[in-house]
Amino acid sequence: MAEIGEKRFSLKKIIRARGGKETMAIYSLLITLIIISSLISSDFRTSRNAINILRQAVLLGIVSIGQTLVILTGGLDLSVGSTISLGACLTSGIMLGRDGLILPVSLLVLLVGTAIGMGNGLVITKLKVPPFIATLGMMSIVQGSLLLYTKRAIGWVPTAFLFFADGQIGFVPFPVLFYALLLLAFSIFLKKTTFGRYIYATGGNEEISRLSGIRTRSVILITYTLSGFLAALAGLFLASRLAMGDPRGGEGYELNSIAAVLVGGTSLAGGRGGLAGTLAGVLIMTVVGNILNLMDVPGFWQWIVKGLIIIGAVSVYRKID
């Protein structure tokens, strides 16, 4: 028993050491990227652009929180992009500028996103469908249903609802403050609660966790449910930012969120990583997009550069291991 205890203690120390090294590496990359971007473009150094980067990071940041939870269990969620689009279209399409519908419609959208996430979790845990296939299928179902609803930008949101994406409290943009509080809440949830430890344990080794008494199916179900909820929340934010709903507004966020999480050091195999790294990953992806836009780099070259950064970052983590 003493040997087992010592092994567990050593394993915890190794994981902490690796996590610390990866976090240092990703933030070093972020700082280096900011310095290089500042040297390349004078426009990048302005306070206005810095605030713009933070605002742009919020949408990807919200959905990446849910993606982090899912990937920590050893899965992934490809349905978040279509859920974002659905959330944005439902928001603007039902509100139609009416202030009195802000709260009920927001709750409805969050409920729909939660149901989509729960559906993913049930298909994975009850039907034993691999996460990639389950969420890919859900992505098709949601996107197809949305395009039956509308094939073009739809509706508009009340002026008061624009505060979600464009509001300001003092000198701090409201969406940045909102995301910071959301990130803090989920960081505490992951690191300080028993369920958070269950997420890491399930991703580290689901079978051993199950034999240890952890209800791993429930853990997986809840993490996918949370991912759906956060994707819907991102859809509300997108509707506020665009002031309308775009049926393709969430396209690409499924892959960008996975990329941000992986660049942030969370292992695709599960059980390692966290939201501190994801924050850096989100900022890296946003800064790269920002500086490339300032340099008028065509969109297809931006995809190539982002792909190289993802491969490079993950390669660094493999060497750290």
Give Cβ neighbours of residue 230 (< 8 Å, ≥ 6 apart): 62, 63, 65, 66, 80, 113
Q: Give me the pLDDT at residue 166, please.
A: 95
Tell me the C-alpha distance between 63 and 132, whole Å: 17
> Residue 296 sits in which domain range?
24-37+47-320
Q: Give me the pLDDT at residue 53, please.
A: 95
User: pLDDT 10s per residue in the chain (321 long)?
Assistant: 444 344 443 434 434 444 567 778 889 989 999 999 999 999 999 999 999 999 999 999 999 999 999 999 999 999 999 999 999 999 999 999 999 999 999 999 999 999 999 999 999 999 999 999 999 999 999 999 999 999 999 999 999 999 999 999 988 999 999 999 999 999 999 999 999 999 999 999 999 999 999 999 999 999 999 999 999 999 999 999 999 999 999 999 999 999 999 999 898 889 999 999 999 999 999 999 999 999 998 888 888 887 887 787 777 666 655
Q: Residue 135 has which token pair?
A: 């969420």
Q: Give me the pLDDT at residue 23, please.
A: 79
Tell me the C-alpha distance between 171 and 11, whole Å: 44
Q: Give me the pLDDT at residue 306, please.
A: 79
Q: Give me the pLDDT at residue 14, please.
A: 37
One-letter identity of residue 293? N
Q: Give me the pLDDT at residue 3, please.
A: 41
Tell me the C-alpha distance between 129 and 120, whole Å: 9
- The verdict on residue 109 lying in a domain is yes
- The pTM score is 0.91
Beta bridge partners of 172: 169
- The verdict on residue 216 lying in a domain is yes
Tell me the C-alpha distance between 299 and 304, whole Å: 9
Residue with tokens 């092994």: 7
Residue with tokens 């040997």: 3
- The verdict on residue 84 lying in a domain is yes
- The verdict on residue 29 lying in a domain is yes
Q: Give me the pLDDT at residue 20, please.
A: 64
Q: Give me the pLDDT at residue 319, please.
A: 61
Q: How many domains does the chain have?
A: 1
Q: Give me the pLDDT at residue 195, please.
A: 96
Residue with tokens 């202030």: 99
